[in-house]
Amino acid sequence: MAAKFKIQPLSFNSQFAKRVLILSLPLAIVFFAFTHWQLMSISTAVLCFVITVISNVLLLLPISSELRILRNYIYSLANGDTDYSNIVLSEKDTRDLARAITAIHKIWTSKAETLEAQTLSDAAVFDTLPDPILMLDAEGYITNSNLPAQKFLGADFLACNIDKLFSTNIFIASVEKVLKGESISESVVFHAPEYNNRQLYAHITKLPSHLKGRASVVVSLYDVSKALSLEKKQSDFVANASHELRTPLSVISGFIETLQTTARDDADARDAFLAIMKEQTEYMSNLIEDLLSLSRLEMGQDKEIKDKVDLHEVIDDVMQALKLKAFQRSVNVKISELNRIPKIVADNQQIHQIVQNLLDNAIKYAPENSEVTVEIKTIPEIPAKSGQNIASGKAVSIAFNNKGQKINKEDLARLTEKFYRMQVHKDMKIKGTGLGLAIAKQIILHHRGNLTVSSTVYNGTTFTIYLPVKQN
Ligand SMILES: Nc1ncnc2c1ncn2[C@@H]1O[C@H](COP(=O)(O)OP(=O)(O)OP(=O)(O)O)[C@@H](O)[C@H]1O
Ligand SMILES: [Mg+2]
């Protein structure tokens, strides 16, 4: 806290002495003239001069001293001391001056506080924007950025030139165009190999020239990788679905044409063709059923999960449905329950569908005359990798194992993609749409469970589903 400013004790300095002498000089000349014309004795003149000097000192000293107090007061305000009662002055003029200085200081302090609060709130708003924003000066150097930009660009990039951070020509050319004033704003989608190969949409805008700040151009970046990959997945899906439907349709229409022309009266050919046509229509109806299932699942992810599902009943029902298929392939299905399985909170129909798809696969892809095992048990927690949205707490796992060739890593990673089928099974003419596992995965995600798959030479392939006992 600064000390109160009071009138200082008498203090002479060269400036003060000069002022006193200058002020006393005219009377000194008058006294000198009076003694010269013998109107006054020398001793009286000296006495008068001394009295003049003393009265000038007494007149000037308080003003000079108060000016010094005022100067110190202004410095203390400049140094951030806002105690306005710090100043004590005796002269009216200097008091008025101090009041005026205090008033100006109060106005500017309040303006500065408003400006600071505004700047802080602007910076906070800037940081809460979800996408990276960069400010560039007229040469392309970064002058400011928000938090998402700092997270996105990683290292310390402030004061870096934009062309050191991004190498993609199309983006740098657009930034240069705006910096040079050839365009007011530019938008560009580009690929950023230095940032995890992301696809970015950049909007580059020139700031109005009347703004006097250092920033000249604002660059906003949006990560559009997910949206573009989703778009690609959707168009791939439509292409795949129409291809899968067109193939059996063209087979059927080919046979219809043959039956209408060359094979019109050939009874044997007609029977054979009708059998194939029946098979193709069954395939088409399965495919349409699967496609509808998938779209229903994708649309109804917010459907409430509230059934109490008895997994014994589900497995029994599915076994009944697949008994004939297992028998035809001489596959023996062995079910083992390792401990008492509680009912789980789930969607009954959807759980039937997953168990059906996985047991159907195990029977379909197992070698003939082999064994398929289904092992069901309770576990304390669902195993999960970080970032997966999986329910915590007690769960049930069902592992479906079938013998057969080991599935390589690349295939394993792609099995749950829509329409993905392993070449070896296509070559073996094993029927399927390639949608069963995609449907199972959707259902499991909806239940916040998990699906894992492993494959070894000796043990064959094991798909394991994990479902939480309760949905919390
Ligand atoms: N238990 C398994 N053993 C070996 N390969 C499997 C197994 N389950 C699935 N696959 C492979 O994964 C692919 C995808 O399986 P998915 O169940 O999604 O489709 P699908 O069985 O071909 O057709 P759908 O189930 O729709 O009739 C299969 O084509 C097959 O190549
Ligand atoms: Mg299948």
Per-residue model confidence as pLDDT tens digits over 110-124 = 998 899 888 888 888
Contact 108, 77 (CB under 8 A): no
Quick one: which atom of ligand 1 is closest to the CA of 287?
26
For the Cβ of 347 lying below 6 angstroms from any atom of ligand 1, the answer is: no
User: Where are the domains positioned within the chain?
Assistant: 14-111, 129-223, 225-299, 303-468
Between the ranges 102-106, 156-160, 168-172, where is the mean pLDDT highest?
168-172
Which ranges of 223-263 would DSSP assign to H, the alpha helix?
225-260
Q: How far does residue 374's CA lie from ligand 1's centre (Å)?
A: 17
Span of 75-89, 249-263, 345-359, 421-435 with lowest mean pLDDT: 75-89
| H-run or E-run covering 399 | strand 395-402
Average pLDDT of the chain to the nearest whole number: 89
For the Cβ of 435 lying below 6 angstroms from any atom of ligand 1, the answer is: yes
The residue among 334 and 62 whose pLDDT is bigger is 334
Best residue among 437, 461, 465 to mutate for probing ligand 1, ranked by most atoms within 8 Å of CB: 437
- Nearest residue (CA) to ligand 1, atom 31: 422
Closest ligand (CA of 453): 1
| H-run or E-run covering 115 | helix 92-128
For the Cβ of 436 lying below 6 angstroms from any atom of ligand 1, the answer is: yes
For the Cβ of 433 lying below 6 angstroms from any atom of ligand 1, the answer is: yes
Instruction: Give me 223's structure tokens.
Output: 């990560």
- The correct CATH number of 303-468 out of 3.40.605.10, 3.30.565.10, 3.20.20.70, 3.40.50.2300 is 3.30.565.10
For the Cβ of 363 lying below 6 angstroms from any atom of ligand 1, the answer is: no
Q: pLDDT value at position 426? A: 93
Closest ligand (CA of 374): 1
pLDDT over threshold 50, residue 1: no
Q: pLDDT value at position 126? A: 85
Best residue among 415, 426, 452 to mutate for probing ligand 1, ranked by most atoms within 8 Å of CB: 415
The residue among 16 and 423 whose pLDDT is bigger is 423
Q: pLDDT value at position 453? A: 97
Between the ranges 147-161, 285-299, 452-466, where is the mean pLDDT highest?
452-466
At 375, is the pLDDT very low, low, confident or very high (cuts 50, 70, 90)?
very high
Query: Residue type at 207?
Result: L
Closest ligand (CA of 420): 1
Question: Above pLDDT 90, what percent of the chain?
Answer: 57
The structure tokens 């690609």 sit at: 232
Quick one: which atom of ligand 1 is closest to the CA of 460?
3
Q: How far does residue 432's CA lie from ligand 2's centre (Å)?
A: 6
Q: Which residues contact 36 (CB under 8 A, 6 or more apart)?
A: none
What is the dihedral angle through the alpha carbons of 400, 405, 410, 413, rounded to the nearest 10 degrees?
0
At 176, is the pLDDT very low, low, confident or very high (cuts 50, 70, 90)?
very high
For the Cβ of 367 lying below 6 angstroms from any atom of ligand 1, the answer is: no
Domain 225-299 annotated CATH 3.30.300.30: no
Q: pLDDT value at position 4? A: 52
For the Cβ of 416 lying below 6 angstroms from any atom of ligand 1, the answer is: no
pLDDT tens digits, one per residue of 67-107: 888 888 888 888 888 777 777 777 788 888 888 888 898 89
Q: How far does residue 436's CA lie from ligand 1's centre (Å)?
A: 7
- Nearest residue (CA) to ligand 1, atom 7: 361
Best residue among 365, 371, 406 to mutate for probing ligand 1, ranked by most atoms within 8 Å of CB: 365
Q: What is the mean pLDDT of residues 415-439?
A: 93
Closest to 433 measured CA to CA, from 446, 444, 445, 420: 420
Q: pLDDT value at position 153? A: 86
pLDDT tens digits, one per residue of 242-300: 888 998 999 999 999 999 999 888 999 999 999 999 989 998 998 998 888 888 887 77
Q: pLDDT value at position 11? A: 54
pLDDT over threshold 60, residue 12: no
At 317, is the pLDDT very low, low, confident or very high (cuts 50, 70, 90)?
very high
Q: How far does residue 391's CA lie from ligand 2's centre (Å)?
A: 26
How far, in Å, CA of 284 to CA of 270, rounded?
21
DSSP 8-state symbol, 221: E
What topology is assigned to 129-223 in CATH? Answer: Beta-Lactamase (3.30.450)
For the Cβ of 406 lying below 6 angstroms from any atom of ligand 1, the answer is: no
Query: Residue type at 352?
Result: H
The residue among 414 and 337 whose pLDDT is bigger is 414
pLDDT over threshold 80, residue 227: yes
Q: pLDDT value at position 217? A: 95
How far, in Å, CA of 76 to CA of 219, rounded?
43
Q: pLDDT value at position 80? A: 81
Q: How far does residue 464's CA lie from ligand 1's centre (Å)?
A: 14
Q: How far does residue 304's CA lie from ligand 2's centre (Å)?
A: 26
Quick one: which atom of ligand 1 is closest to the CA of 286?
27
Q: Which residues contact 67 (CB under 8 A, 6 or more apart)?
A: 94
